[in-house]
Chains A and B, each alone.
Chain A
Amino acid sequence: MLAEFLQYLFTGITIGATYALIALGFTLIYNASHVINFAQGEFLMIGGMATVSLTAMGVPMVLAVVLAVILAGVLGIALQRLAIAPAKQADVVTLIIITIGASIFIRGIAQVVWGKQYHVMQNFSTNEPIEVFGAVLNSQSLWVLGIGAIMVVGLVLFFTKTLIGKAILATSMNKEAARLVGIRTQMVLMLAFMVSALLGSVAGIVVAPITFTSYDIGIILGLKGFVAAAIGGLGSGVGAVVGGLALGIVEAMAAGYISSDYKDAVAFSMILLVLFFMPRGLFGAKVVERV
């Protein structure tokens, strides 16, 4: 009974941590530029796939991870520079379609480079599962949680302690004012996309040994991260983390106790409920609309 519950809880927290990282990526870009980046999931895919193929080529794991993260970061910058920045005055719908176009483009390239099959990645450390009160915990889950926690703490420090982080925050609050005090907002937007890509790729790499990876995992993982961000309230960092964990846990519980067929429906029902009753999510800002 307890073992079963714990088992679902572990699964939920692990996958929830991944959702949280993706949601943070969404949040970051949304805050800086009010763009919902539908290509967020592709950063995950790139991270996982690049690491898998680099290690297969004999590159040591740590170096492979670093290279994969750099690759994703470059991709993030390219996305902002080449696709988002040129479409300056575009409205929300157009920007959404641009990022969807970008995600299709990246997925297409991944399909050409890596093929359509699933790729398996080794656990970071041991394959021995850990037993806790009768429940079995994949050692990789600890990696996901540990690295997830480090990323979140790092992000908080980045925003509160570094000048660049503060510049991003300032830009998200008021672009014009930020520019007036000498912040190069274009630079900041680029940085936001880069950091968001780094977050995404790290999430993709740590979770790859658990879920496998293929060229098209970005769609569903990206959407789940998007749901998590919305549950938390778009633009709220705390909301993204809480939303991610909540989504992961509810999903795992529903899969375990109700039906695994309807696992994905849980996520989308949850977002509808949250939006119906809290139109700006759990931690969303109360915005007063001025006419």
Chain B
Amino acid sequence: MLNRFMQSRLRGLMVLTLILLVLPAFLSNPFHYELATQIAIIAATVVGLNLLVGFAGQISLGHAGFFGLGAYFTGIATGTYGWPSVPALLVGAAVVGIIAWVVGRPILRLKGHYLSMATLAVGFIIAIILNNERAITGGPDGMPVPAFEVFGWELSSFGAYSLFGLEISGVQAWYMFASAVLLVAVWFALNLIESPIGRALRSVHGSEVAASVVGVNTAKYKSLVFVISAIYASLMGGLYAHFQGFITPAVASFEFSILFITMVVLGGMGSTFGVILGAVVLKLLPQVLADFQELETVMFGLILMLTMIFMPKGLLPTLTAVVSKRMRKKAGGEA
């Protein structure tokens, strides 16, 4: 059993690695690379959020708040105070983790609608602070963020690099970096899910009362996964800030939070690869709908509703269920 789990975990990661390796063959211009990089960063955020929503069953409608905090911490530390990027990201993640822990303890006692409201409020308060503290954040106009920098080596979307003798552009370099980050994020999440912590989380999802009866410290695990998902968001927010080179409070907005949670639900709660698919679909949708111009928002809302009504389990779980049913039918027919 365990062996099979290990295998399936590796298989998923290998498929994802393969896709990320082959994808550049289909990316024909810098804009495609930019989009792919954004998707990778956001997908990693959503993989973190899925640990909370999909596995522990705790909704968060304010996750963009943590993403935004990470983005602004990195932006301010590197831009205003000249820190190198990696310490900025790590210290930012630690600070956001602590904030999430302090806020999470009382919030996570709430359930369902109440929890969703509380997380929504936290996200909103963060966004309002980022909007109003103009002296530090630049207010609604936003602030510039320097290029990602490690030991004096800079990773900039505008730069040019040579890798094993190959000339690659800044966006291509960023794509590779973001892909690697996504793989690590997925690998960590998959391992966490299969660890004793992951089992405890799933027991909380199943029935919190039953979990506590068999001795699971539900409050501790819920806070822990809340903090972990906030750290994911913070780190990715920091990378996003570096990649974009400019941030506005929109990164912490309610709309962004909704986008994150929708990616989780659309892709399939509790399915790590499903939520990545959710991120891909929802990030590409506006590009596809751009042809409809005025109707873009209408179509977006409509697609959201229809998928949720007809595929409440999410895209990937529904698709795999359909495929395996077909295969079983086929096998049954032959026997």
List residues of A whose CB falls within 8 A of some B CB. Answer: 30, 36, 83, 86-87, 89-94, 96-98, 100-109, 111-112, 219, 223, 226-227, 230, 234, 261-262, 264-265, 268-269, 271-272, 275-276, 279-280, 289, 291
Q: How far, in Å, is A162 (CB) from chain B's closest CB? A: 28
Q: Is B269 an interface residue (CB 8 A)?
A: yes
List residues of B whose CB falls within 8 A of some A CB. Answer: 53, 59, 61, 106-107, 109-110, 112-114, 116-118, 120-122, 124-125, 128-129, 131-132, 207, 209-210, 254, 258, 261-262, 265-266, 269, 294-305, 308-310, 312
Q: Total contacts A to B, CB within 8 angstroms?
A: 133
With A96-B116, A261-B132: A105-B302 Cβ-Cβ less than 8 Å: yes
Q: How far, in Å, is B170 (CB) from chain A's closest CB? A: 34
Pick from B118, B254, B266, B297: contact of A107, CB under 8 Å: B297
With A92-B112, A108-B298: A98-B309 Cβ-Cβ less than 8 Å: yes
Contacts of B254 in A (CB 8 A): 219, 223
With A87-B308, A226-B117, A271-B117: A291-B298 Cβ-Cβ less than 8 Å: no
Known contacts A223-B124, A272-B121; 13 additional CB pairs below 8 A are A83-B309, A87-B309, A93-B53, A93-B269, A97-B308, A105-B298, A111-B294, A234-B113, A262-B132, A265-B129, A269-B121, A272-B107, A275-B118
Decide: B128 and A264 in contact? CB cutoff 8 A. yes
Report 15 cross-chain contacts, Cβ distance below 8 Å, ordered by A residue: A92-B59, A92-B113, A93-B265, A96-B59, A96-B116, A97-B266, A100-B304, A102-B305, A105-B302, A230-B114, A234-B113, A268-B122, A268-B125, A275-B114, A279-B110
Interface centre among B53, B210, B294, B308 (most CB of A within 10 A): B308
Closest to A279 in B: B110
Q: Would you call the interface of chain A mostly helix, strand, loop, or mixed?
A: helix
Task: Give complex CA distance A227, B265 in Å.
Answer: 24
Q: How far, in Å, is B316 (CB) from chain A's closest CB? A: 15
Closest to A26 in B: B113
Contacts of B116 in A (CB 8 A): 36, 92-93, 96
Decide: A105 and B112 in contact? CB cutoff 8 A. no
Closest to A115 in B: B294
Closest to B53 in A: A93
Pick from B120, B124, B309: contact of A264, CB under 8 Å: B124
Q: How far, in Å, is A109 (CB) from chain B's closest CB? A: 6
Contacts of B109 in A (CB 8 A): 279
Decide: B312 and A101 in contact? CB cutoff 8 A. no
Decide: B113 and A111 in contact? CB cutoff 8 A. no
With A93-B265, A102-B301, A104-B300: A112-B113 Cβ-Cβ less than 8 Å: no
With A112-B294, A265-B124: A93-B59 Cβ-Cβ less than 8 Å: yes
